[in-house]
Structure 1
Amino acid sequence: MTKTIFITGASRGFGKLWAEALLKQGHQVVATARNTDSLKDLQQQFGDAILPLQLDVNDREACFEAIGQAKDHFGAIDVLINNAGFGLFGAIEETSEQEAREQIETNVFGLLWVTQAVLPVMREQGHGHIVQVSSTLGLVTLPVLGIYNASKFAVEGLSETLAAEVKDFGIKVTIVEPNGFATDWAGASAAHTQPMQAYEPVKEAFQAGLTDDSFGVPEATTDAILKLIDTPNPPLRLFLGKVALPWVRQVYEQRLAEWEEWQEVAVAAHGK
């Protein structure tokens, strides 16, 4: 069954890979990017099946306009993939106000604006699937990625709540949580704080803990996304990569053990 899929952040990385895979599968794709020049190759290959739209997700009004254009052009929006975002590398103390605001603005508010824009369309249709690209770092954390961690924790809470609010409208929500992948997320797409010498040991330890096996192959994710789009009962959460589940399981076991250790104190704090 052909579906119309709206993807943000489609100029590179996961967004472009998934857009191409979906087009090859016969779907119609609305691909957004700040600069649509990067989508010309897909236009040449797939013609009218792709609608490239210039979009800065930080502009709420523009998000509503883009969703409206997509609806008018294809007649429906069956799936939204909220993929736009970037990583900010740096210790918490190093992070400027502007850097922190830009990270949250794009990763959280940008995702929120596009989500809000598509909901009336999907409610009117009586169906839809919203795919929120989060991260394993929305469940567990790494040092020197604190504001990014915070942004993805926010995406997790927002999206889980959304799933409960819209299920009776026939709208499904999936939170996709990749572990590290060898995209340019940590390269050209990333932002970096002004370094402080005091945090160099933390950064060195972080780098030393990374291995080639820590990062998945981006192209290998396309089959998972195609399956996710096609399934009639998609999961609320989906890891991408082999590192994610063992890591999250270990951290959650530690959290549960600590909560249990302090449960007596917690119960006494209830007061009755």
Structure 2
Amino acid sequence: MDLTNAVVVVTGASRGIGLATARRFLDAGARVAGLARSKDDLDRLAETFGDGFTPVVCDVADAEAAKDAIDGVASDLGQLDVLVNNAGLGRFGPVDDLDLDDWDAQIDTNLSGVFHCTRAAVPHMKRQGDARGADETGGFIVNVASIAGLIGNPELSAYNASKYGLRGFSDAIMKELRPFGIKVSCVYPGSVATEFGGSDPKPTAMSPESIAETIHHVVASPHQTLISEVVLRPMVGRKS
């Protein structure tokens, strides 16, 4: 996909992988709409990034708010080429001690939030696909899952459930939307050096920028190539 002047929506854009991804697409010449819950954080990014960045305050767990945000971006910027579903959170603990609110928050954001944004974006992308024809991509959806969507982890049951669910959702819509000229990819990062989960990152953790670079590579792939899944793992030190 040619990203020059393309419209890219990134959820969870105020920090970590989302922030790095927004910056990478701006560097590629795209126009980026960053969704996040914090207006203050988004305002600071708008000052930093300039006119190419559109701040949108939105909690993706709110279905109506997500639809309004996606529809607003498509209307204001004239198109919707890429949706990066990155917003997520993790609250960990033993299954018998996990608060119900913590379970709900992870499912609502990590899984339902992706559904809300995708459901709103797809009609715009289908119309674009019809208008652009068979030789161009109507739209691209990238879902940022986790290695925890491939392997279970003790005391991560809710997070694992949300990310395993995201894997199934991604695989299903990839097959559903491909005939409409819409690409869907799911990215599974391992340990990343962010503040996610409230714990210090491992010394070998990957940088958010490395994940953003991979997301950009996936989206920029030739029209006839669909990279449906990517697993990213950190390197470890060599044995002496």
Distance 2:109 2:211 in 1: 23
Counterpart-to-counterpart distance in 2, 1:91 and 1:174: 31
Aligned residue for 1:201?
none
Scaled by the length of structure 1, the TM-score of the pair is 0.77
Is 1:226 paired with 2:216?
Answer: yes
Computing the radius of gyration over CA atoms, which structure comes out larger, 1 or 2?
Answer: 1
Which ranges of 4 or more aligned residues in structure 1 deviate by more than 3 Å?
Answer: none
Q: Does 1:183 align with 2:194?
A: yes
Distance 1:95 1:167, change over 3 A: same
1:143 to 141, 145, 154: 154
Partner of 2:227: 235
CA distance, structure 1, for counterparts of residue 166 and residue 34 of structure 2: 21
Number of residue pairs matched by the alignment:
223
| Corresponding residue number in structure 2 for 1:66 | 69
Contact 1:20–1:42 (Cα < 8 Å) also in 2: no
**What is the one-letter code of the residue matched to 1:168?**
P
Is residue 11–residue 36 contact of structure 1 (8 Å, CA) maintained in 2? no
1:34 has 2:37 as partner: yes
* Residue in structure 1 matched with residue 133 of structure 2 by the alignment: none
Shift of 1:211: 5.3
For 1:1-272, list aligned pairs within 5 A.
Answer: 1=2, 2=4, 3-126=6-129, 127-187=138-198, 212-213=203-204, 215-232=205-222, 233-242=225-234
Q: State the alpha-carbon separation in 2 of the partners of residues 218 and 51 from structure 1.
A: 21
3-state secondary structure, aligned to 1:88: coil
CA RMSD of aligned residues (A): 1.9
Deviations 1:137-193 (A, max 9, x none): 1011111111100110000011101111111100010001000111011228xxxxx
Aligned equivalents of 1:6, 1:222: Cα separation in 2: 14
User: Take 2:97 and 2:10, find their aligned partners in 1: how far apart are those partners?
Assistant: 33
Residue 135 of structure 2: aligned partner: none
After TM superposition, give the deviation of residue 133 of structure 1 in Å. 0.7
Q: CA deviation at 1:72?
A: 1.1
Q: Using the TM superposition, give the Cα deviation of residue 43 of structure 1 relative to its aligned residue in structure 2, in angstroms.
A: 1.7
User: Where is the helix percentage greater, Structure 1 or Structure 2?
Assistant: 1
Equivalent AA in structure 1 for residue 149 of structure 2 = G
Q: What secondary structure, in the 3-state scheme, does the structure 2 residue paired with 1:53 have?
A: strand
Cα deviations by residue, 1:232-270 (Å, 9 ceiling, x for unpaired): 223110122336xxxxxxxxxxxxxxxxxxxxxxxxxxx
- Gaps in structure 1 of 5+ consecutive residues: 189-206, 244-272
Task: Give the aligned residue type for 2:39.
Answer: T
Please state whether the residue corresponding to 1:32 is helix, strand or coil.
strand
CA contact (8 A) 2:7 2:81 kept: yes
**Alignment identity in percent?**
37
